[in-house]
Amino acid sequence: MPTVTIDGEPHAFMPGRTVAAILLAAGRRSWRTTRHGGRPRGVFCGIGVCHDCLVTVNGLPDVRACLRQASPGDTIRTRTAPDDEEDR
């Protein structure tokens, strides 16, 4: 089974899954917070209209997790990772 790395930890996934589906399967319900108020955000619309599910994939910031199909070896950084304060 292929794997991706989420905030430094490997996670196996079924081929064809989106990054959001992998995050949800890993038990993550939110992976960023709002600038003002620090409210948790994850999947909201699920079709790429909103910006609630943004993550960094392979160093590319602001990727909509609900639209991005994962590839084996992808490195996914959430905005709730401990050392990502500057990305919030």
Q: What is the pLDDT of residue 49?
A: 94
Please determine, for residue 74, whether its predicted confidence score (pLDDT) is greater than 80.
Answer: yes
Domain CATH for 16: 3.10.20.440
The number of folded domains in the chain is 1
Task: State pTM to two decimals.
Answer: 0.87
Please determine, for residue 84, whether its predicted confidence score (pLDDT) is greater than 70.
Answer: no
59: region left, alpha or beta (phi > 0 left; psi from -120 to 50 alpha): left
pLDDT digits (tens, 9 = 90+) for 5-35: 999 999 999 999 999 999 999 999 999 998 8
Please report whether residue 53 resides in a domain.
Answer: yes
Please determine, for residue 56, whether its predicted confidence score (pLDDT) is greater than 70.
Answer: yes
Backbone angles phi, psi at 24, to 5 degrees: -65, -40
Q: What is the pLDDT of residue 85?
A: 45
Please report whether residue 76 resides in a domain.
Answer: yes
Q: Which two tokens stand for residue 1?
A: 């089974």
Please report whether residue 15 resides in a domain.
Answer: yes
Q: What is the span of the domain harbouring residue 35? A: 3-82
CB atoms within 10 A of CB 26: 16
Please report whether residue 87 resides in a domain.
Answer: no
Please report whether residue 88 resides in a domain.
Answer: no
Q: 87: helix, coil or strand?
A: helix
Up-side HSE of residue 18: CA atoms within 13 Å toward CB? 16
Rounded CA-CA distance 49/46 in Å is: 8
